Amino acid sequence: MQRALISGCLVWLVLSGLLWAGQPHSDSTVYAQRRAEMLATIDRMVAQTRQELDREHLGPAVRNAFAKVPRHELVPEALRRRAYFNEPLPIGFGQTISQPYIVAIMTELLELEAGDRVLEVGTGSGYQAAVLAEIVQQVYSIEIVPELAERARNDLARLGYTNIELRLGDGYFGWADASPFDGIVVTAAASHVPPPLVRQLKPGAKMIIPVGRSFFVQQLILVEKSEDNEVSSRLVMPVRFVPLTGRHGQQE
């Protein structure tokens, strides 16, 4: 009886040890599974809003980036379990990280390619920068809040992103040394599109700006610079909503 008890305890200890050793692997599997679910949600929403976005689905590069970037590593510890929900999250200092669907379509609308160089104004959590870094050659990111810049710098380095250059400062003047850019993402609140940023955009390139309240992006402004340097914009509503009914609506 005594021997049976000792054997039982040993088996229990060995199994516990195996389970403990397997924990990180299990965690990453769980998060990978959640990322896959999040991506499925994004795919579904992109399909629902295909008219608004003027495209049927996300491109493979963006899908691949979303499947890889560990969002849970870039949100506050207390909110990790919500990291892959399709919802905005507070990241401290009154800043939020947009819902994954918005980050996805902002990235998609820029139509980036592997060799591109992209500027991000407003690093925040670093998630958007990480997504961009999975797609393009080099990402330049500027953050104005010192604590956020420091945190994002550490997190992105820990995750092994070597193609993101991050600096603390005023994003209004862009990053003249590294310009022109193939795409610009302005996630920081801006009352207007800074003229220096427009100048730092390559002909044929695009800039994306979300407009809205703290937690809700109400519309996206896609600024486009034509090959002959003419600047225009497109207002995109990231929600499938039929604004009118009946004969004036020309819909439904």
Partner 1 sequence: MSGLASQAADGSRLQRPPYISLVMASAVALAYEIHLTRLFAIIQWHHFAYMVISLALLGYGFSGTVLALWRETFIRRIQHSYPACLGLFALSVPTCFLLAQSVSLHPEALLWRPDLYWRLLVIYLLLAVPFFFVALAVVILLTRFGMRAGSVYAADLVGAGLGSILIIVALFWFLPVSVLWALTILAALAALMALAELRSTNLPVAALAVFTLVLPLLVPSEHAGLKISPFKTLPQTMTVSGAQLLGTRSSPLGLISIVGNPVVPFRYAPDLSLNAQVGPPDQIGVFIDGDRFSPINAWSGDPGETAWLNASTSALAYHLVAPRRILISGAGGGSEVLRALGAFIDGLSTPHLDVLESNMQIAGLVKDDFAAFSGDIYRRAGVHVHHREPREWLARNIRHYDLITFPAQGGPGGSGGLSALGENYEFTVEAFVQYLESLTDQGFLSLTSWLQLPPRDTLKVFATAVTALKQVGVEEVADRLIVIRGWQTATLLVKGSAVSPAEIDGVRAFCQQHGFDLVFYKGMAAREANRINRLRRPEYHEGTVALAGPAFDDFIARYKFDIAPATDDRPYFFQFFRWRSLPEFLTLRGSGGLGLLESGFVLLLATLVQAMVLALLFVLLPLIVGGRRSKTRRAPWRGRVVAYFSLLGLAFMFIEIAFIQKFVLFLHHPVYSVTTVLAGFLVFAGAGSASAARLNEAAGRTALPVVVAGIALLGLSYLALAPFFQAFFSGFELPVRIVMALCLLAPLAFLMGIPFPLGVMRLAGHEPQAVPWAWAVNGSASVISAVLATVLAMHLGFTTVVLSALIMYVLCVTVAPPAGTAKREGPDCEA
Footprint of partner 1 on residues 154-183 (CB under 8 A)?
168, 170, 172
- 50 in contact with partner 1 (CB under 8 A): no
Q: Which of 7, 23, 28, 233 binds partner 1 (CB under 8 A)?
A: 233
**CB-facing half-sphere around the CA of 39: CA atoms within 13 A:** 21
- 94 in contact with partner 1 (CB under 8 A): yes
From the list 72, 142, 63, 152, the residue with the least C-alpha distance to 103 is 63
Nearer to partner 1, 138 or 141 (CB): 141
Overall residue count recorded for the chain in this entry: 252
Nearer to partner 1, 159 or 168 (CB): 168
CB 128 within 8 A of CB 136: no
Range list of β-strands (E), 49-198 = 89-92, 95-97, 117-121, 138-143, 164-168, 181-186
3-state secondary structure of 141: strand
Phi and psi at 120, nearest 5°, equal -120, 125
Nearer to partner 1, 70 or 90 (CB): 90
Phi and psi at 203, nearest 5°, equal -55, 135
Footprint of partner 1 on residues 15-44 (CB under 8 A)?
none
Nearer to partner 1, 42 or 156 (CB): 42
Q: Is 98 a catalytic residue?
A: yes
Kind and range of the H or E run holding 210 = strand 201-212
- 241 in contact with partner 1 (CB under 8 A): yes
CB 130 within 8 A of CB 159: yes
User: Which one of 11-19, 88-96, 128-136, 156-164 is the stretch in contact with partner 1 (CB under 8 A)?
Assistant: 88-96
Catalytic residue among 7, 28, 98, 141: 98
Residue ranges in contact with partner 1 by CB under 8 A? 45, 48-49, 51-52, 54, 86-87, 90, 92-96, 99, 101-102, 144-147, 168, 170, 172, 189, 191-195, 198, 211-219, 221, 223, 231-246, 248-250
Which residues are known catalytic residues? 98
